[in-house]
Amino acid sequence: MKKLAPSILSADFAQLGAETEKIEKAGAHIIHVDVMDGHFVPNISYGATVMKSLLGKTKLPFDVHLMIENADKYIPDFVTENTGYITVHQEACTHLDRTIEFIKSFGVKAGVALNPATPPQTLEYVADKLDMVLVMSVNPGFGGQSFIDNALTKIKKLDDFRKKNNLDFEIEVDGGVNLSNVREICDAGTDIIVAGSSIFGAEDIGNRVGEFLELL
């Protein structure tokens, strides 16, 4: 089954609890948490404190997308009873194998994200340890950008690679996903769809989640 992970980066932070409740009631599966440090990406978003403010308010698992340097230092802060996945960037981790093991040592699923310019082959020697590969379909840092079409080729390559090698990592796609392109993105082999502005920018957030779910 395909899963929908709304990104709270585009939520109204003054209403974060209420907006999260809306997406959960409408049937979203996961909450995507975008953490930006102003170094690895040219923007600062929020840290673990904001994510933790949702604890006890939602049953949905957190999917933590760390767009940060020195990820090892901060990973423990993001481990909570709701944390389902922690994803780090291939480009930001010098000792990627060690970082993946570190995430898994907390009993959390480990993901690695690939920027648009990063080839999927860079994950060949860690793929057997991965629970998820996040294909960035925009350059990370901001919500509301346009989908980069080359991401479809990368998704297909990763899907072929996991089939050929009998691997079971999930494929997540993040950036520029909307109602018009989501079906094609799913067909390429995606398991988890992230959507930020196209959900939280909608007039009726719950309704928009429903529209996405019909297309998955």
User: Binding site: which residues?
Assistant: 7, 32, 34, 65, 141-144, 174-176, 196-197
By a kind-dependent CB cut-off of 5 to 8 A, residue 115 interacts, out of Zn ion, ligand DX5, none, with none
Map the footprint of Zn ion across residues 121-180, applying CB under 5 A: 174
Binding positions for ligand DX5, rule: CB under 6 A: 7, 9-10, 32, 34, 65, 138, 140-145, 174-177, 194-198
Q: Helix crossing, 16-25 with 205-215: angle to 10°?
A: 40
What is the Cα–Cα distance from 183 to 181, expressed in whole angstroms?
6
Give the one residue of 3, 22, 29, 65 binding Zn ion; rule: CB under 5 A: 65
Instruction: Spot the catalytic one: 37, 63, 131, 174.
Output: 174
Query: Is 149 part of the annotated catalytic residue set?
Result: no
Query: Containing H/E element for 175?
Result: none
**Least distance (Å) between residue 51 CB and ligand DX5:** 14
Q: Confirm whether 174 is a catalytic residue.
A: yes
Q: Please report which residue ranges of 8-132 form alpha helices under DSSP H.
A: 16-25, 48-52, 71-74, 96-104
Q: Pairing relation of β-strands 31-36 and 3-6?
A: unpaired
Query: Dihedrals φ, ψ of 168, to 5°?
Result: -125, 20
Annotated catalytic residues are 34, 174
